[in-house]
Structure 1
């Protein structure tokens, strides 16, 4: 967005006065949930409220924001947008939970731009709005939406995710009105540049807006977020958005929100995930996993698939990607994990988004917030740690109005997870592996491991990583590392012998030593 040279002129005065009046008169009652489907009523606090607006054009929004919405071809509002934007425009704090792919980004960016516009914000006012994202990829995605939405606003915006010289980055972001940032990099600038004050978060009065609050806490940013919140002004508006409402999100809300509007968009839905998402699971022995996964890839060459593996260490992702690439399945294979350098991660993300058919092997760095277009399948080759993680992973498909399918591979000892999904209003259909499709990949993998020392080393680390990830899971009703057949697992990875995993049945972290 172009940098503003001065405050709003008289040409906006009439529009500004009209919209301020409409925001007050049309605001939903505090404590209400204005969400309605086409012919339904929602009863909140004993009163029936009606949501008239279905399109952005029906809201009290400035011509500048409406022009950005038109440029992005955003016309109809999603449920989370209809439920929250009215409260946010009225200046209220919001704590909202909505399914993945439901349109949360516009739900906080539209009010942010409108609040700054109604305050007649300019470049002279410096920082006015802050968006905190848990991952670099999501921050970049939010920033791209912001550039489209705010193209007609005389405001400047910056992206703070690292990867550049700090002094150069500090100089570029100093005059920005809106910042989209990851927590660690943002706090680094706040702390390290305090003397010269090129970044003063205390000026961010109209809006401080951290999305994906649950993911921020999952990634261990609780202390970082608390430190950032201390630097923000006490008088501010805060919007917290997440796909799930958890105790940790509530704890963060208690620190940062004042009399918030609690809105759970899909709490009363029959399913916890989009109705267009079909759920499937298979019960297979652990040593069959790679065979089944290989069979799936070979039989879905015309699909776009994300396959999630253990996130304890990227070795699982690295090995499966390397081994399957060596086997040449006939479709593009990519991998994404947190230990890749920033530019590499962004390159992989961009390449996968651009491809019509591909398989992305990923850790949970790709599980939340990111919008991958036209993903038909989400395969979870390793069981997720809990139902919330399952929901976030499957949320990479069936986004917005699209349909999608999800496949979960479970060992017999992990069958209890199906009951947990059912209790969370997620019905999953059991599939049985097709023996003809699940061509035994282990013989070919053994050849690749034998011929390439790097793949052999990665296979050893991957196996140890997988066993440790199972051992360290908190839910012992689902995860039982002692039941894993290490030798059979090793053979399925193309290894002649299993790496040694010490203290497999004892307490504490497992210690491992890989043999030749």
Structure 2
């Protein structure tokens, strides 16, 4: 503390200052009266700087608040589109590295999708830039998400609404694969306001006809789609922006080549097309020539030495024909704490083996999935097998293509597949 000397003050001499304080460590150092941390001047300067920063931030927020929502969305879309040309595949590590809308990113996080696969890295950037894509990757590589994300972003950029009608059309070979794609779309696109529909055989045609014209994203099988094109007067595809062909080789293998040609004739020429296939056959290339314009080719499994996963262990057993059922029963009895899929060549065989094993009671839940089942029953079986930790599914090749069954320990092929491609898709 500082004081003026009282003697000097009385005698009228120049003031001297007496410094009062407690020296520390024997040195002539004194504690200042005002600590730097409590200095009101410096504190005021810090407070003023912080206050001005908050004031400027509030000013910007008030300015943004006066903007209409459509203008804010338009500016956000413009910023995203400017980043499309800067996409570098080598720098993509997470989905957030892509220039995606907030609603899509929120959906990906909620659905536990964080790291993109190779097919997703190479495809999403090209699709966002508006290019046609012909993609080939082995089964289980993540092709579904590679086209679901661009589909959502395509409609988001257009600010698509229910009154705009159909904007994205996804064609799948089987009802189960279409249903699975619909579930992925529902999870990832939950924060968008687009309407989505699932149009497959085995459901009420009148109900579909009444709702189909209000659908923005339509996931369907070829036969049912062509039926609506022929019979539903309100169904219109003139505003279509994106066509997606999932498992195109399987669509053609099932005899839908003429159906696909008829569908393509009813679609607008000016559109973006994404075609995905596990194998590239002559029929797929013919379909690509009809539906794609200057496509970008994405070949992921060319980098792999084999078409099956490297960690897959493959075995075979030689036995008498009369012992096949006994061998299967013994195998399942010794693997009760496992999840298995058993493939058969026909629906009748699946039905017969399923009934036999229900009577034999192997000690594990037995399910059956085949083409002659009613659609709701097939969906129930699919969902139940996905949920179960331990179960065995008897199925035809309807379950071999594109369906995602998590944590399957064993895949048994009780009948030989038709060809090598079918074998690969089964495992």
In structure 2, C-alpha distance between the alignment counterparts of 1:280 and 1:201, rounded to whole Å: 49
Helix, strand or coil for the counterpart of 1:279? coil
Matched, 1:253 2:292: no
For the structure 1 residues 9 and 297, does the alpha-carbon distance in structure 2 shift closer, same or farther, using more than 3 Å as the test? same
Q: Is the 8 A contact 1:201 1:232 kept in 2?
A: yes
For 1:148, the equivalent position in structure 2 comes to: 187
Q: Is the 8 A contact 1:80 1:102 kept in 2?
A: yes
For the structure 1 residues 223 and 305, does the alpha-carbon distance in structure 2 shift closer, same or farther, using more than 3 Å as the test? same
- How far off is 1:288 after superposition? 2.8
Q: 2:275 aligns with which of 240, 265, 268?
A: 240
Q: Is the 8 A contact 1:190 1:201 kept in 2?
A: no
For 2:308, the equivalent position in structure 1 comes to: 273
Residues 347-396 of structure 1, C-alpha deviations (whole Å, 9 max, x = no match): 111221121111111100111111112111110011111111011111xx
| TM-score (normalizing by structure 1) | 0.68
Q: Which protein is bigger by CA-based radius of gyration?
A: 2
Residues 3-39 of structure 1, C-alpha deviations (whole Å, 9 max, x = no match): xxxx97112122111111111232x6xxxxx5xxxxx
Helix, strand or coil for the counterpart of 1:85? helix
* Alignment of structure 1 residues 73-472 onto 2, 5 Å: 73-193=112-232, 196=233, 198-204=234-240, 206-311=241-346, 314-394=347-427
Q: Is the 8 A contact 2:203 2:375 kept in 1?
A: no
Matched, 1:18 2:75: no
Residues 131-179 of structure 1, C-alpha deviations (whole Å, 9 max, x = no match): 1111111111111111111112121111111334322211112111111
Helix, strand or coil for the counterpart of 1:371? coil
| TM-score (normalizing by structure 2) | 0.81
Helix, strand or coil for the counterpart of 1:203? coil
Helix, strand or coil for the counterpart of 2:272? coil
For 2:93, the equivalent position in structure 1 comes to: 54
In structure 2, C-alpha distance between the alignment counterparts of 1:359 and 1:126, rounded to whole Å: 42
Helix, strand or coil for the counterpart of 2:86? helix
Q: Is the 8 A contact 1:203 1:232 kept in 2?
A: no
Helix, strand or coil for the counterpart of 1:130? strand
In structure 1, C-alpha distance between the alignment counterparts of 2:244 and 2:267, rounded to whole Å: 11
- How far off is 1:209 after superposition? 0.6
For 2:12, the equivalent position in structure 1 comes to: none
Residues 188-210 of structure 1, C-alpha deviations (whole Å, 9 max, x = no match): 111102xx3x2112321x21112
Residues 276-308 of structure 1, C-alpha deviations (whole Å, 9 max, x = no match): 222112233333322221221111111110000
Number of equivalences? 360
Residues 307-327 of structure 1, C-alpha deviations (whole Å, 9 max, x = no match): 00113xx11111111122221
In structure 2, C-alpha distance between the alignment counterparts of 1:349 and 1:278, rounded to whole Å: 25
In structure 1, C-alpha distance between the alignment counterparts of 2:143 and 2:99, rounded to whole Å: 19
- Runs of 4+ displaced beyond 4 Å: none
Return 5+ residue gaps in structure 2 as ranges.
Answer: 1-67
Q: Is the 8 A contact 1:156 1:176 kept in 2?
A: yes
Higher helix share: 2
Q: Is the 8 A contact 1:8 1:120 kept in 2?
A: no
Residues 416-465 of structure 1, C-alpha deviations (whole Å, 9 max, x = no match): xxxxxxxxxxxxxxxxxxxxxxxxxxxxxxxxxxxxxxxxxxxxxxxxxx
Helix, strand or coil for the counterpart of 1:273? coil
- How far off is 1:264 after superposition? 1.5
In structure 2, C-alpha distance between the alignment counterparts of 1:184 and 1:382, rounded to whole Å: 28
For 2:20, the equivalent position in structure 1 comes to: none
In structure 2, C-alpha distance between the alignment counterparts of 1:213 and 1:243, rounded to whole Å: 8
RMSD: 1.5
